[in-house]
Structure 1
Amino acid sequence: MHRNHELYEYLMKNSWQMTEDWYKQVDDPDPNSLYSTTDEHIINTLKEQNQDYFKRLHKIFIEQEEVFLKEFEEWTIELAKDQKHLDTAVHYVVREFNKTQEVYISYLQKFYKENQDKVKLEQFFLWLEIVRKTFQLSIYIYMEEAQKNTSKQIAAQKEMINELSSPVIMLQNNVGLLPLIGDIDTARAKLILENTLTQCASLDVQYLCIDLSGVAIIDTMVAHEIFQLINALKLLGITSTLSGIRPEIAQTAIQLGLDFNSVRTTASLANSLAAFNQ
């Protein structure tokens, strides 16, 4: 059996010193790493998190395994949601997990040396094995959850960028402007369609100029989405015009057999706005 209340009390008694021993080893020159901070508040938070980790880990020597693992997993998942840790490269966090493990094992060794008359060598080896497995579990859970949270952040940022990259700008006389810039893939084209319809309805747009002067390439799928947008706007009673189609796009459109005959076009944004004003 690996449970040992005396060992648990020993570790609890030395928890803060274990944290101090860990932090003395922290030496990170990378300014982008959480562990390079000189901010006393952040340093104290790091120490408190490490202290909390130790105290939870100590419970493996007094609790039933299933109870311990459930609580321990929940704590590690919460750590992975911490923004400062998310902003730090995963390999730095894993490095500190490993340093923490070294400190923890050193205190197991101290306890064993002080209590060799009561602790068998086999039991000491069992403790080492359990602690190493628990640390491996910590690292696995952290990396998995950190990846999930990072992916969510990237997806949210991408969605925000897409929304900001397709704003309807309200001009005068119920005229709106949708300036499109950069590469447009099918996913972004669909998002532009959804956002544009919503914005035009809320802004009470009656005439919309879709300016393509900042777009270098359009394929058949993206062209289809633009046609869909124009047709949807027509259903809402909104008149739309395409302006600023670049020579490269016009040439590609002919090569791909794209038909713009049903779409009102002008050579420039100025021409389009002038037509609306008239």
Structure 2
Amino acid sequence: MYERKELYDFFMERTSELTEDWYNKMDHNHLHGVYASNDKEVIGRLKQQNYQFHLLFCRLFLEKDEDFGALFENWLEELASDIEHLLTPIYEIIEQFFRVEDQYLELIEKFYAENVAGAGSEEVNYWSREITKRLGEIVIRFVRENALQTELKLNANRETILKLSCPVIPLMKHSALLPVIGDIDETRTKVILEHSLDECAKKKIDHLFIDLSGVATVDKIAVEELEKLIDALKLVGVVCTLSGVRPKVARAIMEYGFELEIIQVESVLSTAIEAKFAAI
């Protein structure tokens, strides 16, 4: 087997060239996301990411560690969490990995043709298999990391949407309205609890009207979380008034052990608000 260090040096001398060649031959007009961008900053970052890949991948010719893909852990995390790549179809990103693979396979053949007299196909085949194998490992790691980052982003967006769906709307005299619309499940009630506590503290609310007229059904977990919300608000000095409780929801609340006697209840929101401000 030819000296690994000379093979390593051969590739390292061409890292910048590999990046420029890769970018310049890219079919930007038929690609999307990061590959179609005209933003100089985005393009510069894309090239730098590709260049950093080569610096790591060239170590293939030196490293004998079986877990070669672990070298790319930080690089993959950065690439997968990059907003421009998150907005790029994953199949296009994988396609670019394969283009890079082709670059390495071509250079392996060039190296042995120009530098090793009488070299047979055995050496070329060995390194071709290594390149294909190691790059395959990296692609799998990227897909896994990309899925993780996408899920994190979706969860963050989902939580934002949930918060927007349960706004704490200031009224007057340190009072506010929390209109709850749609089905209430465990995830949503937890977001409502955290969001309501934060908003009441931030806006110095001491009386919160929780209107459930937009809620058609609740389950046991939702009732338990609603009870936790009211108890938590009491602990920070916020009085709660429930309004708009539908008969079906009321039966479920009673069935699951929530005692309506411990909280102010009004049939409709307007009545609750009028009663509050009439007493001021």
Superposition TM-score tier, normalisation by shorter sequence: 0.7 to 0.9
Letter in 2 for 1:108: I
- Bigger drift between 177-186 and 128-137 goes to 177-186
Residue 277 to residue 219, structure 1, CA distance change in 2 (3 Å): same
1:4 paired residue number: 4
1:270 paired residue number: 270
Residue 134 to residue 124, structure 1, CA distance change in 2 (3 Å): same
1:121 paired residue number: 121
State how many pairs are aligned. Answer: 275
Cα pair 2:189 2:226 within 8 Å, conserved: yes
1:78 paired residue number: 78
Q: CA offset at residue 98 of structure 1?
A: 0.8
Matched ranges for 1:118-157 at <5 A: 118-157=118-157
* % identical equivalent positions: 34
Residue 31 to residue 272, structure 1, CA distance change in 2 (3 Å): farther
Report the secondary structure of 1:122's partner residue: helix
**d(CA) in 2 for partners of 1:203 and 1:119?**
77
Letter in 1 for 2:195: N
2:43 paired residue number: 43
Gaps of 5+ in 2: none
Q: Does 1:110 align with 2:117?
A: no
Deviations 1:241-270 (A, max 9, x none): 22234xxx4245448864775353334322
Residue 13 to residue 190, structure 1, CA distance change in 2 (3 Å): closer
Normalization by structure 1: what TM-score? Answer: 0.82
Report the secondary structure of 1:178's partner residue: strand
**d(CA) in 2 for partners of 1:92 and 1:117?**
39
Cα pair 1:77 1:141 within 8 Å, conserved: no
Report the secondary structure of 1:38's partner residue: coil
**d(CA) in 2 for partners of 1:5 and 1:205?**
69
Gaps of 5+ in 1: none
Residue 31 to residue 180, structure 1, CA distance change in 2 (3 Å): farther
- Bigger drift between 18-27 and 258-267 goes to 258-267
Provide the alpha-carbon RMSD of the alignment. 3.0
1:185 paired residue number: 185
Q: CA offset at residue 30 of structure 1?
A: 6.3
Q: Does 1:250 align with 2:242?
A: no
- Bigger drift between 105-114 and 223-232 goes to 223-232
Cα pair 2:223 2:253 within 8 Å, conserved: no
Q: CA offset at residue 91 of structure 1?
A: 1.8
